A and B are shown apart, each in its own frame.
Chain A
């Protein structure tokens, strides 16, 4: 079973990702980062979700702000707590007394060649870990990220929240040489649950299913209000797909970099989707070496597969 650390900022869709990971993978730890709300909220939410799902997974608190950029958070979509919309249990423990970056480094060193990171928030923790310990790149089996977009943006015209929140950190991770998977907004927007799906999840479900249904109802209402969507996008669970069942998303190996220089396109993931011949001519700038398995198409079975994991965790608790 794949060993995993989930680096997240719960967050409604992070909450689903947490359950999806726990249902299928060997979740060695959860590290938290600011993002969908402040670090205090996201850490508290991770601990509450663990209690809800009966998980004793270690939780380590990470970065409270980006490496360089001015802090932003996603309160408009995720509410005051970061996971508004449901009654969650109070945390029954404190986070570990080591920093998320130390936890990532220690766990990666102890599980060389086996550990994967799945990052569903800003990449600040991951970039800091890579900067503090360059050997980390050789220790990790891979990093899978929810972030970026090839077209539509959700913070600016062209930038997605997680990458825009800390573009310098994203740049460090994209240049790391570690095998990378990236699923962007252009794909996760097509992995959504409808009001009917949510009602079905609640129907006949136990405590975990009911709480998740409440969370998804709130998230759907937010996404409808802010972005005009009819389904609640399950952005973050998509980042787990490479290690749970890679056939659920089609990937393409392409060069991806992030724009840092200009305000208009800052935080845009520049994905080279051109298909160039071996000999390019004229003004055409050649492609860089592919560094990312970029998600292109979600399979129809992905949403049911994620919802089934919520029911699995529900059954484990009840």
Chain B
């Protein structure tokens, strides 16, 4: 029985790779994709998700559009023209336009209804700002308890990306993130930069994927290639010609838990700091009085992750 999951994304080059891994891996069943404001504006997140699914022959997977703004903070979305062209993300994914259409239902409504009706385990995997999830928690007090497992891409302990102290997804809607961490999900796992920066995908890996000639291999090569040039130019990793593909690490973890190593501890989100807003405050040394609420990943296994991408994208879609 494949594991069921819902991806909540802000597609986004790494979200697109996560979608493809979730849609094509034989051990997973991608129930739906929901979209949220983040890497690009919400309508682009939705369009990019549809394009990606159509391109790999999985246009059958429904896409629900979610919330277009952070819950509270007013200084984001930022001017998006800055987040295009030579960056890590692009406004429109470099694949043909979508033929599928988004669903009419709102993503938050879909999430609440789906978990109310669920008879089997469906893992929730948010890889963008946590606005939709916090909205579901706010609208339905029983929501968190009904989601058996949530795996979040976000946060940073040793160094941030958007600010010295914070990672983008959490920073972009810090209030939503704090609400989700405090909501009492039965099992919450967080895959932060500390882990994803250890699971780099290289230009050589991209060439190999392109050589597969499959839609997913070609698309992954393009998306990750965009990331590598963006990272090399703007946020160089220790190794040039390689980039993290954050969101896909969460999906890989559902297939093989060994892809990350975690510590179970209390994590809160800073919502008031002048320098630290959006920081995941990880209590590694039991200094606070909060009970552990999060399996926080400090490490990732690059080989397991990259091998999984390669073995999945060499396959053709089986619907």
Contacts and interface: CB of A to CB of B under 8 A. Distances in A.
Most buried by B among A260, A261, A271, A281: A281
Which secondary structure characterizes the binding site on chain B?
loop
Interface in A233-285: 255, 257-265, 268, 270-277, 279-285
A151 B273 contact: no
Given A150-B158, A264-B268, A282-B89, A276 B234 contact: yes
A284 B282 CA distance: 22
Given A276-B234, A282-B78, A283-B168, A262 B87 contact: no
A157 B158 contact: no
A42 B87 CA distance: 54
B228 interface: no
Contacts of B285: 152-154, 157, 227
Given A150-B159, A157-B283, A268 B276 contact: yes
Interface in B277-319: 279, 281-285, 287-288
Contact of B282 (A157, A259, A272, A282): A157
Interface residues of A, number: 37
A156 interface: yes
B58 interface: no
A151 B157 contact: yes
A155 interface: yes
B153 to A, nearest CB: 16
Contacts of B76: 283
A145 interface: no
Contacts of B266: 157
B235 A152 contact: no
Contacts, number: 120
B83 A281 contact: yes
Which secondary structure characterizes the binding site on chain A?
loop
Given A153-B285, A155-B287, A274-B159, A261 B274 contact: yes
B272 interface: yes
Contact of A282 (B87, B236, B271, B284): B87
Contacts of A280: 234-235
Interface size class of B (residues with CB under 8 A): 35 or more
Contact of A264 (B83, B89, B281): B281
A285 B82 contact: no
Given A276-B234, A284-B235, A153 B164 contact: no
Contacts of A258: 275
A287 B160 CA distance: 12
Contact of A157 (B87, B161, B288): B288
Contacts of B271: 262
A108 interface: no
Contact of B172 (A260, A271, A275, A283): A283
B222 to A, nearest CB: 19
B75 to A, nearest CB: 10
Contact of B158 (A156, A227, A255, A273): A273
Contacts of A182: none
A149 to B, nearest CB: 10
A259 B275 contact: yes
17 contacts: A150-B158, A156-B287, A157-B268, A157-B288, A158-B279, A158-B281, A227-B285, A259-B275, A261-B273, A261-B275, A265-B165, A265-B273, A274-B164, A275-B235, A279-B233, A281-B83, A281-B87
Given A257-B275, A264-B272, A270-B164, 10 more contacts: A157-B287, A158-B281, A262-B270, A268-B165, A272-B164, A273-B158, A274-B235, A275-B235, A275-B236, A284-B161
Interface of A: 150-158, 227, 255, 257-265, 268, 270-277, 279-285, 287
The 6 closest A-B pairs by CB, nearest first: A272-B164, A282-B83, A273-B159, A262-B273, A262-B272, A261-B274
